[in-house]
Amino acid sequence: MNNDNTFPMKEKNIIYFDNAATTFKPNRVIKKILDYYENYSANSHRGDYDISFKVDDMIDYTRDNVKKFINAKRKEEIIFTKNTTDSLNMIVFGFFLKYLKSGDEVILSSSEHASNILPWLVLSTKKNIKIVFVDSIHEKLNINDLVNKITDKTKVISLAHITNVSGDKRDIKKICELAHSKNILVVVDGAQSVPHIKVDVQKLDIDFLAFSAHKMCGPTGVGILYGKYELLNEMIPFEYGGGMNLNYDENSLKLLDIPYRFEAGTLDIASIIGFGESIDFLNEIGFQNIEKKEKELKKYLISKLEEIPYIKIYNKNCEGSTIIINIDGILSGDLGLYLNSKKICVRSGKHCAKMGDNKEDTVRISLYFYNTYEEIDYLVNVLKNKEEIEKFSK
């Protein structure tokens, strides 16, 4: 029997380098979810009996755990959603639909994930607002261009903390200081940062933050929307239904307090409980240790890839845990399928985003702390066989 801190998927005959998409789950998280289904499978805020009370306690435990994890001021600032995309949509259409006026400007970067671009584009057609894109230089955000594109009409800057393709890490503290000096709000997509580095929302002074459980050893189906309490108080619920209202009749509707007014219907209870366990797991490992391990793995991977003359590396100088590569003359999809034939999991394509001015499809190798040097060595040895790769792609 595996111990609780090991990963069942690590025992499969695969090498997994697609951690930016989702991560493996340790036994303890899986067991926590099973424990709910086997021992107290009831709904939350719906029953006057012991197992329902326990569900309420476990959800409250996870909410408080998330609050401490990102250092929010109060647990009411933590809203459970389905994923990062859901959180960003709630922010855009729940808050900024009302907040922004015709002619206002929103600043994004050209290398954002689609989930932090598409909702804003839709909002721009509803509200006649202007979307302004900041350029990237060598796959990194051009901070000078950001400064130059701020006008008196700029009302919000929405950026990924770390991008999902190039791994560009933005100076969110500096950006928030700049924005707040001009009464501009800041939305942060933390899908690729919260699982890898310590994120302190008070220290960074973030207004809104979105991230997902499944990218940090937790289950799928749970996202987090953090917002400053005074901003959430102005947000309109995205959905309406059971569990988010105090009372109603044909003429009036009275909603519950934050955060419950934003959590209509039955939540993904099992996954929320599992997420609380994954936070405990990551806290025990320590983010200092996670960051250190990932930096060492990435440095080693780059050094090995640089030994292969036909491998093109796009983002050597970015700080995230992703490496983007191509082989001249080989389609990224073909390279991804070739690696799959060797039991190596990577991502190929555009990854729901782009890197600066680069329009090529690429192969993304994304690391997490449980990857090993031996796995990297195997990947590199497979990539060294160019003749076999070319034969496979024909």
Phi, psi at 324, each rounded to 5°: -110, 125
Cα 78 to Cα 70: distance, rounded to the nearest angstrom: 10
How many other CB atoms are there within 10 angstroms of residue 286's CB atom?
Answer: 11
> How much of the chain is in helix, strand and coil states, percent to nearest 5?
40, 20, 40
Closest CA to 199 of 227, 228, 173: 173
What token pair was written down for 258? 């934050």
Among this protein's residues, is 318 annotated catalytic? no
Cα 377 to Cα 305: distance, rounded to the nearest angstrom: 10
Cβ neighbours of residue 52 closer than 8 Å, sequence gap 6 or more? 42, 43, 44, 45, 46
Cα 180 to Cα 206: distance, rounded to the nearest angstrom: 10
Would you give the DSSP letter of residue 96?
Answer: I
Q: Strand, helix or coil at 25?
A: coil
Write the Ramachandran bin of 6: left for phi over 0, alpha for psi from -120 to 50, otherwise beta: beta
Phi, psi at 71, each rounded to 5°: 60, 45
Cβ neighbours of residue 25 closer than 8 Å, sequence gap 6 or more? 7, 8, 9, 217, 218, 219, 274, 278
Cα 326 to Cα 363: distance, rounded to the nearest angstrom: 6
Closest CA to 295 of 261, 326, 258, 322: 322
How long a stretch of residues is the chain? Answer: 394
Closest CA to 146 of 111, 114, 113, 121: 111
CA 327 to chain centre: 28
Closest CA to 111 of 293, 352, 332, 283: 352
Q: Which residues are catalytic?
A: 352
